[in-house]
Amino acid sequence: MKQRSPGLVLDADAARPLESGDAAASRLQRAGSAVQKGYLVAQRKARSLVRGVHSRWRRSLQLRVVTSTLLFSVLVTAVLGFFLVHQVQTGLLDAKTQSAFNDHYAGLSTARNIIQDSDQQDPDRQLDQIIEDLSARSGSTGLYDVVIMPSVGGMTGRVSGGVDEASVPERLREDVRKNGELPYGNYTEIIRGTQREPGLAVGAQLSSTYELYYLFPLDHEQQMLNLVQQTLVLVAIALTLLLAAVAYVVTRQVVTPVRQAASSAEKLSSGDLSERMKVRGEDDLARLAMSFNDMAGSLQEKIQELEELSKLQRQFVSDVSHELRTPLTTIRMAGDLLYDDRDDLDPTMRRSVELLQSQLERFEELLADLLEISRHDAGAATLATGTVDIRDSVLKAVGEAEQIAEKRGIKVVLRLPVDPCVAEFDARRINRILRNLVVNAIEHSEGKDVIVTAAGDRDAVAVAVRDFGVGLKEGEEHLCFDRFWRADPARARTTGGTGLGLSISKEDALLHGGWLQAWGMPGKGSQFRLSLPRKSGGELRGSPLPLAPPEITLGRTLSAFSSMQGDFDRKGIWISGPGEDQ
């Protein structure tokens, strides 16, 4: 029978501790991950709390005032309390020192009289008598303890009240030995077995061989000082809270009307012209409320006047536009007859008839735009939505502008997606928007190509029309949608459309819940982007196409990347490009 090799047994046995060590390491790793996760959660909560407090601090005037009052109150009460405690402590110790010196002087005189009256007695009996008489004078409350210590070695002293001779500080004994005629005092600790208490030691030379010391406990003064400190702390807390409450009440009286004024101003700015502030009393805040109400009343009157004037204006434009259609139709019929027979007229009359025909077409376009604007102003514009492919609308708009592009020698480049981009919209209005954008791009392209791009995502479809003409100056990307606005006022009025095309297009886009936005840069051209939601009435949150052209966005990104790489290079860091070794 084969026996197992000892080496195999040794390896198997050694594997068990290794497996248990891996398990322990895994448990330690899981515990460390849990601790780290808990730390991150606590850190996020702390940051959220700090942000909340900081936001509350910045937004609440009342909180800042009350907090500042509270801090200043704490500071003032702390400073005053410190000086008050110091004065009380100094007064108590001065009074105690004066009383201690008086008591010691009286006891010293008594002890010297005892020594003089009993010169022939035993020195030990003299010391006992002195201790007995002086201790009796301290009273039942133990006002002081008496210590008699020898000035030379080989002699014993006396103590009363069980105090230790070590309670007398060595520095005081040196002062007494140098000049024993005068009493000296020093603060010390009175030792009674294992107990220690603060005290005052006063001493003087009793005779050539002995020194007399009085030990005065300071526990009473310490208790009084503790009582004063506790009282001051309680008074300071109560005073601080009272001042904070007073500051809260006072600031609330001021802040509440201000908040009401801010709320009224917000309602007024949102269109609620009937909002007014309540007037209470006759103080400054009441005058503020009255002034605010007067201002709101004046604004309401002016806005109502402007609204009435605007209504009259819109009504006038609508009425005039409708009234002009009848004579325009008659003029149009006469103009068409003349235009059909223009070949039979002399060249001068033929040219006049052609100009009449072109201006009649321009007049009809202006009249149609005025009628459309009046419908938007009156809120009478409606949508006839249907499911349409945005690519078909783009092709139709480009086809209608093809003749204008051929006359100017401009090529319109289409970048349409392969897959359908279907959305719900009013095809007539969207075709008009796209035709206006394409025609405007052709007229301002300065002979360069025009690029029309369409795209779609899950929620929206978009069309961008790009030209490479003079572009737009800063701020003109909003002005270009104003009525009768022209980028170059010096251009002839016969160039371009009626000046209402982009305004009508903006209104049509908003009617769909979409966006019509412009981007431009002097010398780089301009780009107009139309974005529409897929579903009619849906909320538009983004656009499938960028507002700025891709080459502009890419250029900014590369410029920013080059700047970052330059910074890294200056710091000695190399950024490798594609395919390079890291």
| Spatial distance between the Cα atoms of 525 and 502, rounded to a whole number of angstroms | 17
> Per-residue DSSP letters for 159-176?
ESTT--GGGS-HHHHHHH
pLDDT digits (tens, 9 = 90+) for 376-392: 766 667 778 889 999 99
pLDDT digits (tens, 9 = 90+) for 144-188: 888 888 877 767 778 887 888 888 898 888 888 887 678 888 888
The backbone region for 471, taken as left when phi is positive above 0, alpha when psi lies in -120 to 50, beta otherwise, is left
Instruction: Work out the pLDDT band at 498, boundaries 50, 70, 90.
Output: low
Which of 221, 218, 179, 215 has its CA nearest to residue 198? 218
| Spatial distance between the Cα atoms of 469 and 524, rounded to a whole number of angstroms | 7
Of 138-142, 195-199, 295-299, give the lowest mean pLDDT range: 138-142
| Whether the predicted pLDDT of 2 surpasses 60 | no
Which of 252, 238, 283 has its CA nearest to residue 65? 252
Which pLDDT score is estimated for 19? 45
How confident is the prediction for the chain on average, in pLDDT?
79
Q: H or E element: which one contains 215?
A: strand 210-217
Handedness of CA 101, 103, 105, 111 (dihedral sign): negative
Cα-based angle 529, 531, 534 (whole degrees, multiple of 5): 155
| Spatial distance between the Cα atoms of 60 and 411, rounded to a whole number of angstroms | 61
Instruction: Write down the domain spans for the chain.
Output: 17-56, 273-381, 386-545, 546-576
Asked whether 62 and 251 are in contact (CB, 8 A), the reply is yes
Mean pLDDT of 227-251: 87
Which pLDDT score is estimated for 191? 87
Which of 81, 75, 73 has its CA nearest to residue 242? 73
pLDDT digits (tens, 9 = 90+) for 303-312: 888 878 777 7
Instruction: Work out the pLDDT band at 533, boundaries 50, 70, 90.
Output: very high
Mean pLDDT of 190-203: 87
| Spatial distance between the Cα atoms of 174 and 208, rounded to a whole number of angstroms | 15
Other residues' Cβ atoms within 10 Å of the Cβ of residue 127: 21
Instruction: Work out the pLDDT band at 3, boundaries 50, 70, 90.
Output: very low
Residue 189 dihedral angles phi and psi, to the nearest 5°: -115, 125
Please, what is the angle between helix 347-378 and helix 284-340, to 10°? 150
Instruction: Work out the pLDDT band at 487, boundaries 50, 70, 90.
Output: low
Instruction: Work out the pLDDT band at 118, boundaries 50, 70, 90.
Output: low
| Secondary structure tally for the chain: helices H, strands E | 13, 12
Tokens of 439: 């025609």
Helix, strand, or coil (residue 419): coil
Residue linked to tokens 């025909």: 357
Asked whether 463 and 452 are in contact (CB, 8 A), the reply is yes
Of 7-21, 68-82, 243-257, 267-281, give the lowest mean pLDDT range: 7-21
Same fold, 273-381 and 386-545: no
Asked whether 421 and 455 are in contact (CB, 8 A), the reply is yes
Mean pLDDT of 73-94: 88
Count, residues in the chain: 582
| Spatial distance between the Cα atoms of 327 and 457, rounded to a whole number of angstroms | 49
> Per-residue DSSP letters for 173-220?
HHHHHH-TTS-EEEEEEEEETTEEEEEEEEEEE-SSSEEEEEEEE-HH
Q: How many C-alpha atoms does 303 have within 13 Å on its Cβ side?
A: 12
Instruction: Work out the pLDDT band at 7, boundaries 50, 70, 90.
Output: very low
Cα distances (angstroms) measured from residue 146 to each of 31, 118, 169, 280, 306: 68, 20, 14, 77, 103
Asked whether 210 and 151 are in contact (CB, 8 A), the reply is yes
CATH architecture of 386-545: 2-Layer Sandwich (3.30)
Instruction: Work out the pLDDT band at 486, boundaries 50, 70, 90.
Output: low
CATH fold label, 273-381: Helix Hairpins (1.10.287)
Give the list of residues 6+ apart from residue 565 with CB closer than 8 angstroms, or none.
Answer: 575
Beta bridge partners of 149: 211
Which of 537, 461, 444 has its CA nearest to residue 495? 444
pLDDT digits (tens, 9 = 90+) for 51-60: 887 787 777 7
Which pLDDT score is estimated for 394? 92
Which pLDDT score is estimated for 554? 58
Cα distances (angstroms) measured from residue 145 to each of 20, 140, 549: 73, 12, 100
Which of 389, 459, 385 has its CA nearest to residue 422? 389
| Whether the predicted pLDDT of 462 surpasses 90 | yes
